[in-house]
Amino acid sequence: MKFMVGYQLTETNRFRDLLVSHSDSISEIYFPWSDMPNGRNPFTVNELYQPWEAQQRLVEDLEIFKKAGIGLNLLLNGNCYGQYSLSKHLFQTVGDIVDYIGSRFAPPSVTTTSPLIARFIHQNFEGLEVRASVNMDIGTTQGMDYVADVFDGFYLQREFNRNEERIGRNLEWCRARGKKLYLLANSGCLNDCSAHVFHDNLVAHENEIRKVDNAVSFKGVCWDYLKNREKWVSVIRDESYVRPEDIALYDDWFPVVKLATRTNALPERVVSAYLSGRHAGNTLDLLEPNHSGVLYPYIIDNQRFPADFGKTVLRCDKRCDRCGYCAQVLERVLVNAEEYGAL
């Protein structure tokens, strides 16, 4: 199994150097460009660098990744492009970016939430793979079929990461049509989040929002929800992450797996954990978003999970109302870090 890893602009080169040193296991680097809306905060807004410095650092690092033989995946996955969504300006900009990256580094694959951008890429850049972003929540064969004319691959809807039957059905559909199916392994989002679309729209407009005098901030409904200790079972039951110790269960389905590392506090820790297939520490530290701060001083001790956890959640019937398995796992893995000296 190989991994796609999200680019993060870090203060040191440790993260970049780790990826280069494991280039045989890193399939791609996925990255945004300039101030184009994407699935995270604006790339060029960074406390360590001025916008032009951030862009220059990205260009330099992409050169290094290219020399190491690591592929590139361009993120055009903003959930909203506002007034420019259908504009000539947007498509001219997209074309210029893809042209530049292709000529300077290597033709990239593209991940987008916009079927219009996907169609534009297909019409103007023959041979580039275009993938439907995980933020499109495509988890059924019908969902894939609706846009099969403009997408070559699909990131599986997070909620089905632990559903063996659904993975098999979607993969069979993809293989029969020459499409590819991908998995995001370490999302920390709550399944079926009621505010998911709202939050993604906010993120797409983050560059505009930060320039005005805002009355409130919004991190997501998950943070308030998990303040109630009775809801902590959700970090076991209602999230889609696949632990490093269980990722090998997916080998036959997904030869390449995506890791979320663009905002993680220690992205090299995430990559190292999945490369080695083990993690000693707080499971939540591997995820984006990371809800460790809500549970503090408690952590989820990754080494205390039952050995069969991955297989069990892959094959369960998802009738949580009549099953207490995840609650039992929480009791087993929940540790007061201060008492046990884990921090």
Angle, to 10 degrees, between the axis of helix 88-104 and the axis of helix 51-67?
Answer: 50
Distance between CA atoms of 201 and 81, rounded to whole angstroms?
9
Those residues whose C-beta lies under 8 Å from the C-beta of residue 181, and which sit 6 or more positions away, are 153, 154, 156, 167, 170, 171, 174, 253, 254
Domain positions in the chain are: 2-294
The H or E element that residue 28 is part of is strand 26-31
| Contact between 137 and 39 (Cβ < 8 Å) | no
Q: How do the pLDDT tens digits run along the chain, 343 residues long?
A: 999 999 999 999 999 999 999 999 999 999 999 888 887 777 777 777 888 898 999 999 999 999 999 999 999 999 999 999 999 999 999 999 999 999 999 999 999 999 999 999 999 999 999 999 999 999 999 999 999 999 999 999 999 999 999 999 999 999 999 999 999 999 999 999 999 999 999 998 988 888 899 999 998 999 999 999 999 999 999 999 999 999 999 999 999 999 999 999 999 999 999 999 999 999 999 999 999 999 999 999 999 999 999 999 999 998 988 899 999 999 999 999 887 665 5
Exposure pattern of 262-296 as b/e (b: 16+ CB <10 Å)? bebebbbbbbebbbeeebebbbbbbbbbbbbebbe
Looking at CATH, the fold of the domain delimited by 2-294 is given as: TIM Barrel (3.20.20)
